């Protein structure tokens, strides 16, 4: 009778509760259904997971593609986003990709193709090498930084760049003589207006300041007489911009200066124009449209890569520009770092 009772209750012996401990392989089977070991078919399927990630990917794609519609009325947010526009998908896609893989979401992975396609459409052409050979003249520009600890060394580096025409911005009055002395052996002609200057192997004429509505001179124009004919050369340093918590992107003064510079270039009687300078803005920035709408960027037309020029320690934006009107860029590149917080840039141009 005792044996029968034990058989009926399924007891394995005295003190046994009747519940068997889980087998080790059972615990491992449950472990595989959670966390990073979760199979793709769990939690509603690979198509229904990761909806939030997919929405974020779509938002990055829309913001990149429709950047021109981001309003500037509040803190110049449009211009701020356009200044660093190439970086938005680059910084956003990798963490979203990791999240999509963690969630094992096919929907999120497909959605991440959207910002990649938009980025390639906008910037893929910059990645390819469009540089050529030849050119009639080489020009260079550099914001030398008023606080440059080695202006003489910077001048020597620039003189060795091979540029026929060299533009400098942010010339401190106490350092102008240093640049004149260091560059005088290479460049026979030069002119300085306010805090900008132009050094040339060819004669200069018609040197004059350009009013960019700042109250002091940070832009100039000169006609450079080359063997292939005259070209108008503008040197400009747009007002600085800052990102402030209470005011956003403080670019209003720069925008007014860009409009004034654009007006001056549009009215120039010389059909061949070169603009060299620190515009404190990129070619994507709508606020520089008065200039960019009538001129070509040498980097975009004949460069390789983005040609970022600032900050020199880790370049993130091309705010220094060489632009042309009525001329053909052949090659565009950045020069080695100097004592400035900007990188110098150069370009070869056909004049004929």
Write the pLDDT tens digit of every residue in 260-286.
999 999 999 999 999 999 999 999 999
Q: What is the pLDDT of residue 248?
A: 61
Query: Do 105 and 145 reside in the same domain of the chain?
Result: no
Co-location of 150 and 198 in the same domain = yes
**Cβ–Cβ under 8 Å, residues 179 and 150:** no
The count of domains in the chain is 2
In three-state secondary structure terms, 30 is helix
The CATH number for 182's domain is: 3.60.10.10
Residue ranges in the chain whose pLDDT is less than 70: 1-47, 243-250
Is the same domain home to 36 and 144?
A: no
Q: Indicate if 46 and 66 belong to the same structural domain.
A: yes
In a domain, 19, yes or no: no
Looking at 80, 97, 127, the residue that finishes a domain is 127
Q: What is residue 54's predicted lDDT score, i.e. its pLDDT?
A: 95
Domain ranges, residue 34: 24-127
Paired with 320 in beta bridges are: 278
Per-residue pLDDT at 7 = 42
Last residue of a domain, one of 127, 149, 172: 127
In terms of phi and psi (left: phi > 0; alpha: psi -120 to 50; beta: otherwise), the region of 75 is left
Task: Name the token pair of 304.
Answer: 């390789």
Question: Among residues 290, 312, 106, 283, which one has the least CA distance to residue 213?
Answer: 290
pLDDT of residue 62: 96
User: What is the value of pTM for the model shown?
Assistant: 0.83
Task: Assess whether 157 and 181 both reside in one domain.
Answer: yes
Size of the chain, expressed as the number of residues it contains:
352
What is the distance of C-alpha 80 from the center of its chain? Answer: 11
> What is the rounded end-to-end Cα distance, in angstroms, of the chain?
116
**Radius of gyration of the chain measured on its C-alpha atoms:** 31
With beta carbons less than 8 A apart as the criterion, state whether 260 and 267 touch.
no
């Amino acid at each position: 009778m005792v044996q029968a009772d034990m058989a009926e209750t399924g007891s394995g012996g005295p003190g046994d509760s009747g519940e068997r401990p889980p087998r080790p392989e059972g615990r491992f089977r449950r472990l595989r259904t959670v966390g990073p070991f979760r199979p793709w078919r769990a939690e509603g399927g690979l198509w229904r997971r990761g909806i939030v990630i997919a929405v974020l990917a779509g938002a990055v794609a829309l913001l990149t593609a429709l950047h021109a519609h981001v309003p500037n009325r509040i803190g110049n947010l449009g211009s701020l986003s356009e200044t660093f526009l190439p970086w938005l998908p680059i910084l956003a896609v990798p963490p979203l990709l990791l999240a999509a893989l963690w969630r094992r979401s096919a929907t999120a992975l497909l959605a991440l193709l959207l910002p990649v396609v938009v980025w390639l459409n906008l910037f893929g052409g910059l990645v390819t090498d469009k540089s050529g050979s030849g050119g009639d003249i080489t020009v260079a520009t550099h914001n030398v930084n008023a606080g440059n600890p080695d202006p003489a060394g910077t001048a020597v580096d620039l003189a060795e760049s091979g540029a026929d025409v060299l533009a400098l911005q942010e010339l401190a009055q106490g350092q102008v003589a240093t640049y004149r002395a260091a560059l005088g052996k290479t460049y026979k002609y030069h002119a300085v207006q306010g805090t900008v200057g132009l050094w040339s192997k060819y004669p200069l004429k018609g040197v004059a300041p350009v009013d960019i509505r700042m109250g002091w001179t940070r832009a100039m124009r000169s006609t450079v007489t080359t063997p292939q004919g005259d070209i108008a050369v503008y040197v400009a340093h747009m007002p600085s911009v800052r990102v402030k918590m209470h005011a956003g992107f403080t670019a209003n003064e720069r925008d007014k200066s860009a409009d004034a510079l654009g007006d001056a270039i549009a009215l120039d009687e010389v059909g061949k124009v070169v603009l060299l300078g620190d515009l404190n803005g990129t070619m994507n920035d709508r606020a520089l449209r008065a200039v960019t709408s009538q001129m070509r960027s040498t980097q975009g037309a004949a460069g390789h890569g983005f040609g970022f020029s600032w900050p020199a320690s880790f370049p993130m934006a091309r705010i220094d520009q060489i632009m042309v009107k009525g001329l053909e860029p052949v090659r565009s590149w950045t020069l080695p770092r100097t004592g400035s917080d900007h990188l110098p840039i150069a370009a070869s141009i056909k004049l004929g």
